Amino acid sequence: MTALPADGRRRVVIENVRPRVDGGRFPAKREVGGTLDVQADAFGDGHDEIRVVLRWAGPGAEGAWDETAMEPLGNDLWQASFALEALGRYRYTVVGWVDRLGTWHHDLAKRVAAGQDVTIDLEIGRGLLKDAADRAEAAGNRADARRLRDNHEITGELVELGLRYPDREHESSYEHVLEVVVDPVRARFSAWYEMFPRSASPDPSRHGTLRDVIDRLPYVAGMGFDVLYLPPIHPIGRQFRKGPNNVTSSKPGDPGVPWAIGGPDGGHMSIHPQLGTFDDFAALVKAASGHGIQVALDIAFQASPDHPWVKEHPSWFRQRPDGTVQYAENPPKRYQDIYPFDFESEDWPGLWQALHDVFIFWLERGVTIFRVDNPHTKALPFWEWCIGRVKSAHPEALFLSEAFTRPKVMYRLAKLGFSQSYTYFTWRTDKAELADYLRELASPPVSDFFRPNFWPNTPDILHATLQEGGLPMFITRAVMAATMTASWGMYGPAFELGERTPREAGSEEYLDSEKYQQRTWDLERPDSLAPLVTRLNRARREHPALQSNERVWFHAIGNDELLAWTKNSADRSDVVLTVVSLDPTRPQAGTLELDLERLGLPADTPFEAVDLLTDAVESWRGSSTEVELDPQVPARVLQLRRA
């Protein structure tokens, strides 16, 4: 038998509050300094007026709530927002109630307009105002209470005063208290540059150091990057050390793979001796900050056979029947130089705590951004616990997920706490799939929890489009990555120098990859794409339209090899159009059709197209424009503005 509700007089229904990630199981994500726009469906039975408020509380506000009245948008849809002024977790929910005084006033106006006798109705109103007076008295507002009790003449002003003290005894609350994690702005808008410190040495015969990286900072900052990402800087194991081009045996002097972490000099909380000391690292963090750059570290939770934890905590690793430790495999690939952690270990609490402490160790040394290697190969509950715990103490911490895996797993990692994520951008190459993918990432529900970071290359990924398309395709992919999403990154100097020779045919591995050996790069090469990258990052800094993943629109252009899209600021004061050619070998032309009304541009007078890569200014008129691109100029980035 169905039980009676706790209070059957709660007549307002509140549902479909959003943003809401998986029914409220996970928090939404936003950035400090912005606002959270909340919508809800709210309605009651009959024709009574209702009032709805957004209830919210900031980080640390235990039990204390602020409220903001929600505005009706029509069809029982309500909306309100609140400012996100601090890092951390905010809570929010929605409450509503039948507004007896508002209903009475609304009905009275209709009765008066119909010429009806409202004597009794006025008596009812006076009673409602006296009830409001009692609530004003209880709230300590005696002057308002006196005015409400002296209600012989009911005016609109008096009713407005009474509405400030509503009867909320039977208010309804949404069934969930939702959360939003508020991160630094760099969680949404960032430009990453990856480099290997050991290759920072200008002398090919000398191993690069952290001090060499400091010398490289003006170059990185000059291109406009604000995150410098370093692969693991820890000691590298010697057992089963890989040689150049991933050969399974090494010679004396081969530096090994930075992701084979650990040796006699320490593990995840140590620095490779050839890179320098903790004083050198502190100097790098400080110098980078002076250039407006944050240092991001690679966190790879795996160990070389020489890692101290292998002997100190053997239960953290899976033992094989022959007494050896299970090394990493992705059959048929084998990684004998790496031991994965066993997240089914009997001592899983000890393992979890030790891995958590790695983040805390580096946070205490000034690192607040972490690129996490292969998080999808670690227990998913661990990430929710670890990231949640880290961010409760360090809400400024950001985590980039390097998980090129199934979509649901990638999205789950984002829900569990990762601030940004690598994506499938590298493998989206034709017009339709690029447009469809970006629409998916830029729209709720995905956009409420998943922040994409587009990379045209990584040390692991040299896609066939770059191998075969040459510098024109490098330009196209850089322009797409930098303008499609608010965060992008590139592995350099391989990218700006157009490194595109694979280890073998059909491989996405680089020939002579820095993963296995030290490289020396000629940063002064005349064919370097550094000037283009510099212009792209400058355009991103100067144009709010490019600093958000919202409001991306694809526009018709009569050629399957051309792709055109705009992004605009919320007030449409800044509109940026990007057009790229997907063909690196031949000229391509097409008629571009712009939705001028959506962009806030005039349909019958000229407007300007300012080329953000060359500073050239053109006068355009009307929604149709002919566009031609060729391998020398395979992309254009244009600000569209009123003349």
> pLDDT averaged over the chain?
96
Looking at this protein, which amino acid is placed at residue 10? R
- Percent of the chain exceeding pLDDT 90 equals 95
All domains of the chain, ordered by start, with CATH? 12-181 (2.60.40.10), 185-232+271-299+423-529+536-542 (3.20.20.80), 234-269+302-340 (no CATH), 552-642 (2.60.40.1180)
402 is an active site residue: yes
- pLDDT in the model for residue 332: 80
- pLDDT in the model for residue 328: 86
Tell me the per-residue pLDDT of 610-634, one tens digit each, with 9 for 90 and over: 999 999 999 999 999 999 999 999 9
Could you tell me the end-to-end alpha-carbon distance of the chain, in angstroms, rounded to an integer?
A: 71
Whether the ω angle into residue 493 lies within 30 degrees of 0, i.e. cis, is yes
Rounded distance, CA 454 to CA 119, Å?
69
Tell me the per-residue pLDDT of 250-277, one tens digit each, with 9 for 90 and over: 999 999 999 999 999 999 999 999 999 9
- pLDDT in the model for residue 205: 94
Of 31, 298, 373, 448, the catalytic one is: 373
Rounded distance, CA 179 to CA 159, Å?
35
Tell me the per-residue pLDDT of 193-240, one tens digit each, with 9 for 90 and over: 999 999 999 999 999 999 999 999 999 999 999 999 999 999 999 999
- pLDDT in the model for residue 152: 81
Average pLDDT over residues 131-142: 96
Sequence-separated (6 or more) residues with CB below 8 Å from residue 160: none
**What phi, psi does 155 have (nearest 5°)?**
-115, 165
Of 194, 298, 402, 574, the catalytic one is: 402
Characterize the bridge pairing of strands 575-581 and 635-642: antiparallel
Element (H, E) at 565: strand 562-568
- pLDDT in the model for residue 358: 98
- pLDDT in the model for residue 6: 87
Tell me the per-residue pLDDT of 292-345, one tens digit each, with 9 for 90 and over: 999 999 999 999 999 999 999 999 999 999 988 998 888 887 788 999 999 999
Closest by alpha carbon to 477, among 421, 536, 526, 432? 536
Tell me the per-residue pLDDT of 469-522, one tens digit each, with 9 for 90 and over: 999 999 999 999 999 999 999 999 999 999 999 999 999 999 999 999 999 999
- pLDDT in the model for residue 323: 84
Closest by alpha carbon to 535, among 618, 617, 575, 478? 478
Average pLDDT over residues 566-570: 96
Rounded distance, CA 422 to CA 86, Å?
26
Q: Which of 7-11, 67-71, 638-642 has the lowest mean pLDDT?
A: 7-11
- pLDDT in the model for residue 385: 98
Task: Quickly count: other Cβ atoms within 10 Å of residue 229's Cβ.
Answer: 20
Q: pTM for the full model?
A: 0.95
Does the pLDDT at position 279 exceed 80? yes
